[in-house]
Amino acid sequence: MPGCRVGPDYLPPIVATPNHWVETPPPTQSPKGNTADLAHWWRGFKDGKLNSLIERALQGNLDLQVADARLGASRSQVAATAAGLWPRLNASGGYQRERLSPNALKGILSGAFEGGESASGLLSTLGPIGTPFNLFQAGFDSSWELDIFGGIKRQQEASQANAGAVEESLRDIKITLTAEVARTYLELIALQRRLQIAESRLENQRKIYSLATNAYQEGLANALDVKRAKTEREAVESAVPNIAAQIKNTRHGLALLLGLQAGALESELANLKADMPQPPTLPVGAPADLLRRRPDIRRAERGIASANALVGAAVAEMFPKITLTGSVGLQSQSLGELASLSSGFYGFGPRLSLPIFQAGRLLANIDTQEAKAAEAFKAYEKTVLTAFREVEDSLAALNGEYQRKQSLLAADTSAQSSHEAALVIYQEGETELQAVLDSNRVWYDVQEQLLQSQLAWATGHIALFKALGGGWEVEPTVSK
């Protein structure tokens, strides 16, 4: 496949879209070794507690520690693959108790006689026929495969690319972790604000119930009004314990993200402010190169590099392999004579291996690796398109949520005024209790929707930062 036979450090460009982004050329160098430090985007919320939680999560999260160990293993594999480019030297030693068969001895004697050795001298060395003897041996042997056609080098490049992909996976976990901590923290603040709304609503319902009871006693209301007010009060009362349980569960979730026991953050997060932090201001015209910070894109790039390198390694299997071998050592029947010069032996020379008939295995392997390279490239293209979609979706969601939030702010003011007016009119005896109950319900429903919108607005920024591969740097100034 011609489109896949490119250098192992090839990084495809990010495809441009007509709406927001511009085309970026391939980088001039491979991203291997590029740590791509996380931008501290969460500092833009100006919340000291959030900063502390995220920093501790980056130190204590167990998933992050597992990924870090996996990265160490992949880097060790790079070193192991690179060792194939160097000679191998082994030391050996041994002892054997041997007995030569008469037939083997005939061959030795025949060769010795042809070489001018006397029978008596040889027999004095070997001993009587069939007599066992000792054989001591110690020495070194070495081999070195000359990587003339680059097969080992391509395997090394593939392992380096795989290590780069694992490194990007680690960074992906970091980005996901920081986003999850921030999102869970904001949900905790929203739940505490929701608890405040429920308690305020309960207090208001109790006042309405008291007004209805007094009006009934004065003959200005009927028993049905009292029952309705009591029902509304009890319904609000039932919601408070559920919200309190959700607050505890959310604290437990934050503790797990930090690698702590479930109740470790109970006291620390017991008195959080219920005001939703304002997200940082988004820069106008976010550059397309922020997408190149996304770990999934960089991981896909490393996948292409690894696949291309493996194509080269498969092609190298078609060519001869030349290996230099050598050995040197000492050999003797007596341990005391092992160190003498007469016990020395050596041997060296090149060895050539050329594949002649493999039943199509080598060609099939090349086709397999080229198909995997094509698969990696298409996976990269899909990853880029998915990245653009996530960014566009996040921007669209933020735009829509902003409009919704503004409308709910206006609705909250109107609903509060309507309820206060209905309450005054009821106290003057000019309206029924149902109007007060309805206006109260609408007001607090609007407050709930406004709180949800504020949470969605803040978490929408988190989703955008995550979609942009960690976002961008902000000023580190925080409020305590």
On whether residue 474 sits in a domain, the answer given is: no
Output phi, psi for 108, to 5 deg.
-65, -45
- Domain contains 444: yes
Q: What is the pLDDT of residue 224?
A: 83
3-class DSSP assignment, residue 193? helix
Is residue 355, in this structure, part of any structural domain at all? no
In a domain, 204, yes or no: yes
User: How far is CA 479 from its chain centroid?
Assistant: 31
Query: Token digits for 164?
Result: 């780069």
Name residue, tokens 């409308």: 407
Q: How far is CA 260 from CA 59, 60, 329, in A?
A: 11, 8, 59
Q: Which residues contact 151 (CB under 8 A, 6 or more apart)?
A: 312, 313, 316, 317, 319
CATH code, domain with 455: 1.20.1600.10
pLDDT of residue 1: 39
pLDDT (0 to 100) of residue 192: 92
Read off the amino acid at residue 50: L
Contact 327, 140 (CB under 8 A): yes
Sequence-distant (≥ 6) Cβ neighbours of residue 71 within 8 angstroms: 163, 166, 167, 170
User: Which residues in the chain come in under a pLDDT of 50?
Assistant: 1-37, 284, 475-480
| Helical ranges in 145-222 per DSSP H | 151-217
The CA angle 195-447-406, to the nearest 5 degrees, is 135
Residue found by looking up tokens 């060790």 in the block: 76
Domain residues for the domain of 388 are 2-83+151-315+370-467
Using the structure block, give the residue that is written with the tokens 């509060």. Answer: 416
Tokens 């094509």 -> residue: 374
Question: Which three-class secondary structure string do you get for 391-425?
Answer: HHHHHHHHHHHHHHHHHHHHHHHHHHHHHHHHHHH
- With b meaning 16 or more CB within 10 Å and e meaning fewer, what string describes 143-156? ebbebebbbbbbbb
Q: How far apart are CA 259 and CA 154, in angstroms?
A: 40
Residue with tokens 């250098």: 7
Tokens of 443: 């007001």
By C-alpha distance, which of 425, 434, 430, 441 is closest to 226?
Answer: 434
**Residue 4 has what pLDDT?**
40
Residue 327 placed within a domain: no
In a domain? residue 439: yes
What is the C-alpha separation between 395 and 470, in angstroms, rounded?
Answer: 15
Q: Which long-range contacts (CB under 8 A, 24 or more apart) does 335-344 make?
A: 335/134, 335/136, 338/136, 338/138
Q: How many domains does the chain have?
A: 1
143 - beta bridge partners?
88, 325
pLDDT of residue 459: 92
Rounded to 10 deg, the angle between the 223-257 and 151-217 helix axes is 160
- d(CA 440, CA 419) in angstroms, rounded, equals 6
pLDDT of res. 308: 92
Q: What angle (nearest 5°) sits at the alpha carbon of residue 268, between those of residues 264 and 271? A: 135
Give the helix ranges, DSSP H, for 119-150.
Answer: 119-126
User: What is the Cα–Cα distance from 344 to 137, expressed in whole angstroms?
Assistant: 10
Rounded Cα distance, 121 and 127, in Å: 10
Is 143 within a domain? no
Q: Would you state the pLDDT for residue 185?
A: 95
Number of residues in the chain: 480
Closest CA to 244 of 198, 205, 278: 198
Residue 51: phi and psi, rounded to 5, are -60, -45
For residue 59, being part of any structural domain is answered with yes
**How is residue 200 written in tokens?**
């305020």
- How far apart are the C-alpha atoms of 148 and 457, rounded to whole Å? 60
Predicted local confidence at residue 256, as pLDDT: 93
